[in-house]
Structure 1
Amino acid sequence: MAVGEAAEIGIVIYPEAQRAAIHGLTDLFHVANLISEEQGGRAPSKMRVSHWELSADGGSVEKVFDSHPGPSLGLVALILPPSLTNLPVGERMGAFPGWIRQQHSAGTTICSICGGAYLMAESGLLEGRSATTHWTHSDLISGKFPGIKVDVTKLIIDDGDIITAGAMMAWIDLGLKLVARFMSPSIQLATARFMLVDPAGREQTFYSTFAPKLHHGDDAILKIQHWLQARHTEKITIEMMADRAGLGERTFLRRFHKATGMNPTEYCQQLRIAKARELLEISSIKVEQIAWQIGYEDPGAFRKIFRKILGLSPGEYRRRFFVGEDAALA
């Protein structure tokens, strides 16, 4: 792309797409353009934004908005925004999946946000790829599209020609990433400062909550899950769990993993960390005391596991999410 040439970013407006994300991205790129003009240069870089909708009969895709009307050299990126209600799958998506494949074949980077990953999956572009979506959609998208490696620990997965963003508000993170790619990192940072948002450093794990799978149909494992919910702060061994379930250890471990998607040790860690998060958010109890309350004799081990699961230390988590009345003690 020549210096000063506008990089056209397309935004898909599928039925029930989140308009706040569509217009928010349009405004973000407009701010980036203003900052680029202010920074000067003989030919400041620009972002051109276009919106694309289905035709009345759903058989084709039409451009319905263009921030810089005129001849186009094609899209450098195409964004599939999140949805507020119905996910973008099925016949109502009309010509979108095929059109998205065509854009990708022409060299366009395809990007999705939250539930927009379903539309990308419908196009077939995520088969065999790693992708992220909102953590609440993980099981749904994995079940419908088993060839996709869903990783909801990441807020953004940049695979070069494919970029997926997880949470509904991750349109901000994706927009800033595209500003850095097609304009410059300095304009990205200035845009983030103008909008009072962090340019980087967030992950979905900071915000997701542990929701154990309980509707798996294995009564013996469900019995252990209910038991662990009340006893997870105690010293409980695999042998104790298997005995209570009335199963041999190897059979218990196999069935537990099949039912919950994790081994018993990981499961207990998730239960403990969920309780620790609650205490960090609403109380000023010292981290060492929280570790002891949830069953860790070694606060250092607690800190290590907390960071492994959430990507933040307990102190960092408290500084971000504390909602109590007193000053937090890290």
Structure 2
Amino acid sequence: MKHVTIVVPKGIATNLSSVTGSYEILVTANEYWQQLGNKPKIDVRIAGFMSELQLNRGFFSIHPSSILDIEKTDLVIIPSLSYDHDNVLKENKELVGWISEQYKSGAEIASICTGAFLLADAGILDGKTCSTHWNAASDFRRLFPNVNLQIDKLITVENGVYTNGGAYSFLNLILFLVERYFDRDTAIYCSKIFQIDIERSSQSPFLVFQTQKNHGDDLICKAQTYIEENLSEKISFESLASKLATSRRNFDRRFIKATGNTPVEYLQRVKVEVAKRTLEKGRKSVFEVMNEVGYSDDKAFREVFKKITGLSPLDYKAKYNRETSG
């Protein structure tokens, strides 16, 4: 039997739904497995360094078992956390150390949404790829520059480490773990019971691109502002670098360091974000929106849009436009 530990961080950081949701799905999977005539496959515990944690202004509370009683576990699940990341990490140094020791002893580790901050603080993600909520990406990159953050990915898997994107996408991670620890049929059963889309693989359609201006490089801020104010124009980055009195090579280097994107990638993401918002709220056609954000080639626009969002412009409009979806 495999031992699964859902950890409960200190403070008001913990997201209750990611604890209870993970527990319910795993327990349901285990019960279904036994109904088929099998022996129990997992033993799920909720544990922490405190006997009680009150959440949501005291409306809810968790009573974890003592984590000190768990010498070894096979899978650690870290729930989603609040966005006060610096304080969360300070409050949970003891838990981070425990997670690190479990990983060194052979345990697999799964982080839900912003739980990746604790995982990264343990040093487990250094040099690895991970995901987290797109809204926490800027803070994550600031705190953990040695981690390859890929916020478009719903789930990442590397060397016994699992991470996932934001909010309720943790349901897909838990289904993934059910399939890994039980089998495909059990995962499909749980997807039907809890009505979760088992085939979802990206959080790109839900991503809201943020313009990343808290990096402290004034020259790059000026470049970003220029890009955002001239979306319908054909922008020459060679000319823009010259206007800002720097070489193109230095401009590219500083831009990537400041934003995490090349100038071309940044331009594409801003264009697509504007296009998304227009498609969501207006009556304009895809062709009109394409022209407004400076694309004249329909094929190029569709390819870039789908690369960033995972959907074609037409499919995106059909899914998110208020009038067509109403």
1:233–1:295 CA contact under 8 A, matched in 2: yes
% of aligned pairs identical?
28
The partner residue of 1:21 within 18, 34, 39 is 18
TM-superposed CA distance for 1:241, in Å, is 1.8
Letter of the 1:224 partner, please give it. A
What is the CA–CA distance in structure 2 between the aligned matches of 1:171 and 1:288, rounded to whole Å? 36
**CA, structure 1 residues 303+90, in 2 after alignment: closer, same or farther (shift >3 Å)?**
closer
What is the CA–CA distance in structure 2 between the aligned matches of 1:320 and 1:45, rounded to whole Å? 41
Per the alignment, residue 12 of structure 1 pairs with 7
1:45–1:183 CA contact under 8 A, matched in 2: no
What is the CA–CA distance in structure 2 between the aligned matches of 1:171 and 1:14, rounded to whole Å? 17
Per the alignment, residue 82 of structure 2 pairs with 84
TM-superposed CA distance for 1:135, in Å, is 2.1
- Trace 1:1-330 onto structure 2 (pairs within 5 A): 5=1, 7-15=2-10, 16=12, 17-38=14-35, 40=36, 42-43=37-38, 46-55=41-50, 64=65, 75-87=73-85, 89-322=88-321, 324-326=322-324
1:33–1:47 CA contact under 8 A, matched in 2: yes
Per the alignment, residue 59 of structure 1 pairs with none
**CA, structure 1 residues 216+99, in 2 after alignment: closer, same or farther (shift >3 Å)?**
closer
**CA, structure 1 residues 256+13, in 2 after alignment: closer, same or farther (shift >3 Å)?**
closer
Letter of the 1:35 partner, please give it. Y
Letter of the 1:22 partner, please give it. V
Letter of the 2:137 partner, please give it. S
Structure 2: runs of 5+ lacking an equivalent: 52-62
2:138–2:212 CA contact under 8 A, matched in 1: no
What is the CA–CA distance in structure 2 between the aligned matches of 1:149 and 1:327, rounded to whole Å? 36
Normalising by structure 2, what TM-score? Answer: 0.84
2:153–2:203 CA contact under 8 A, matched in 1: yes
**CA, structure 1 residues 256+128, in 2 after alignment: closer, same or farther (shift >3 Å)?**
closer
Highest Rg: 1 or 2? 1
What is the CA–CA distance in structure 2 between the aligned matches of 1:271 and 1:144, rounded to whole Å? 24
Per the alignment, residue 55 of structure 2 pairs with none
- CA deviations on 1:9-42 (whole Å, 9 max, x unpaired) are 210011131112111111112332343345x2x3
2:131–2:154 CA contact under 8 A, matched in 1: yes
**CA, structure 1 residues 326+149, in 2 after alignment: closer, same or farther (shift >3 Å)?**
closer
**CA, structure 1 residues 222+132, in 2 after alignment: closer, same or farther (shift >3 Å)?**
same
TM-superposed CA distance for 1:51, in Å, is 0.7
TM-superposed CA distance for 1:65, in Å, is 8.6
Whose helix fraction is larger, Structure 1's or Structure 2's?
A: 2
What is the CA–CA distance in structure 1 between the aligned matches of 2:26 and 2:66, rounded to whole Å? 14
- The answer to which of 275-284 and 245-254 deviates more is 245-254
- CA deviations on 1:48-79 (whole Å, 9 max, x unpaired) are 310111057xxxxx96199xxxxx99533110
**CA, structure 1 residues 221+120, in 2 after alignment: closer, same or farther (shift >3 Å)?**
closer
Letter of the 1:130 partner, please give it. T
Number of residue pairs matched by the alignment: 311
TM-superposed CA distance for 1:248, in Å, is 4.2
- CA deviations on 1:214-238 (whole Å, 9 max, x unpaired) are 2334433323322222211112222
2:130–2:150 CA contact under 8 A, matched in 1: yes
Letter of the 1:21 partner, please give it. S
**Secondary structure at the counterpart of residue 74 of structure 2:** strand
**CA, structure 1 residues 161+206, in 2 after alignment: closer, same or farther (shift >3 Å)?**
same
Letter of the 1:81 partner, please give it. P
Letter of the 2:65 partner, please give it. V
**CA, structure 1 residues 93+242, in 2 after alignment: closer, same or farther (shift >3 Å)?**
closer
What is the CA–CA distance in structure 2 between the aligned matches of 1:84 and 1:243, rounded to whole Å? 42
RMSD over equivalenced CA pairs, Å:
2.8
2:49–2:66 CA contact under 8 A, matched in 1: no
Normalising by structure 1, what TM-score? Answer: 0.83
2:318–2:325 CA contact under 8 A, matched in 1: no
- The answer to which of 89-98 and 305-314 deviates more is 89-98
**Secondary structure at the counterpart of residue 3 of structure 2:** strand
